[in-house]
Homo-oligomer: A and B are copies of this chain.
Amino acid sequence: MGITLCVVGLGLIGGSLAIDLQRCAFASRVIGVDNNVTHQEEALKLGLVDEIMTLDEAVWLADLVVLAIPVNAIIQTLPKVLDLVSKDTVVTDVGSTKFPIVDVIKSHPKRSRYVPSHPMAGTEYSGPSAALKNLFQEKVSIICDKENSDEQAVDLVERMYRALYMDLLYMGAKEHDVHAAYVSHISHISSFVLANTVLEKEKSTKAIFDLASGGFQSTVRLAKSSPAMWTPIFLQNSANLLEVLDTYIEQMQEFRDLIADGDREELRKRMEEANRIRKVLG
């Protein structure tokens, strides 16, 4: 017998979770919550959820509440959800930052019913129509500060991710945010800035359209991502991001100077170093 699942936020991540947790019978009933009426209707039409309710109603009925909204909205909504939940309900979120979220509910009397997590999967698209089957399969989900949650709560969240065929990793919320800045957030910034640069320099959008090769499309793909989702991530993780951005800008300036100086040997050495990413990516 599956559980009653409440998904708050019926976009790319919430919608994809809802589809698969229903398909695999982990959830026997999926209740959707979304502020956006168009998204509510789309989610019902696409069959992402069984029904739409208000946050209060849905949280009351749910065994498991998943917050799949932008990280600034998680910070506003999570304390309210914890206020509402019964002692048997489990709450998790899928935000791309963890420390600022954990910090806001650290003294909440029901803190132990909450399990901070981050399934590392997604695409550059957003909204209910972006929801995909098998989005999470073979990807990694991170569970943070496990020791601060009830064992049974962690167990339910682990079972949810295993039902999606995800691999689990455990770490502290602070540590998560450092790694996320280095391995995920910086990629999005480099893509956004690359798109802005090309749109500024290349006066002919026809040339971009005609000449954009697979390489350009690959590096610029993330620039299509949702500003509503990424703005609060960058702001919440600014301390870690500024550190990695400063290194990036410094390295970029050095690379630029090597080209200006025509330093063939050092350029080649830098690129050979970059090639080491092959091994790290397996």
Closest to A237 in B: B259
In the complex, A73 has a CB within 8 A of chain B: no
B218 touches A221 (CB 8 A): yes
Asked if A3 is at the interface (CB within 8 A of a chain B CB), the reply is: no
**Contact of A199 with B249 in the complex, beta carbons under 8 Å:** no
Tell whether A25 is near chain B: CB-to-CB under 8 Å: no
Q: Does A270 reach chain B (CB closer than 8 Å)?
A: yes
In the assembled complex, the Cα of A246 lies from the Cα of B192 at a distance in Å of 16
Question: What is the CB-to-nearest-CB distance from A126 to chain B, in angstroms, rounded to a whole number?
Answer: 10
> Which residues on B sit within 8 Å (CB–CB) of A124?
215
User: Across the interface, do B193 and A231 meet the contact criterion of CB distance under 8 Å?
Assistant: no
Q: Which of B201, B219, B271, B272 contacts A247 (CB 8 A)?
A: B201
Known: A121-B213, A211-B120, A242-B259. A193 touches B223 (CB 8 A): no
Q: Write the A116-129 contact mask toward B (1 if CB under 8 angstroms, else 0).
A: 00001111100000
Contacts of A198 in B (CB 8 A): 182-183, 186, 244, 277
Partner of A210, one of B169, B228, B231, B275: B169
A75 within 8 Å of B (CB atoms):
no
Residues of B within 8 A of A222 (CB): 215, 218-219
Separation in Å of the A167 CB from the closest CB of chain B? 8
Q: How many residues of A contact B (CB 8 A)?
A: 92
CB distance from A137 to the nearest CB of B (A): 12
Interface string of A236-270 (1 = CB under 8 A from B): 00100111111111011101100110101001101
- The answer on a CB contact under 8 Å between B251 and A252 is no
A214 at the interface (CB under 8 A from B): yes
Query: Quick check: is A207 within 8 A (CB to CB) of the other chain?
Result: yes
* A244 partner residues in chain B, CB cutoff 8 A: 197-198, 201
User: Bound complex: CA of A121 vs CA of B217, how far in Å?
Assistant: 12
B241 & A259 in contact (Cβ 8 Å cutoff): yes
- A97: shortest Cβ distance to chain B, in Å? 13
Q: Given contacts A183-B212, A281-B220, are A247 and B192 in contact (CB under 8 A)?
A: no
Tell me if A147 is interfacial: C-beta within 8 Å of chain B: no
Judge whether B200 and A275 touch: CB under 8 Å.
no
A sample of 9 inter-chain contacts (CB < 8 A) reads: A182-B208, A183-B202, A183-B208, A187-B218, A195-B275, A199-B280, A218-B219, A223-B277, A224-B277
- Nearest 4 CB-CB pairs, A to B? A227-B271, A195-B274, A195-B277, A187-B219
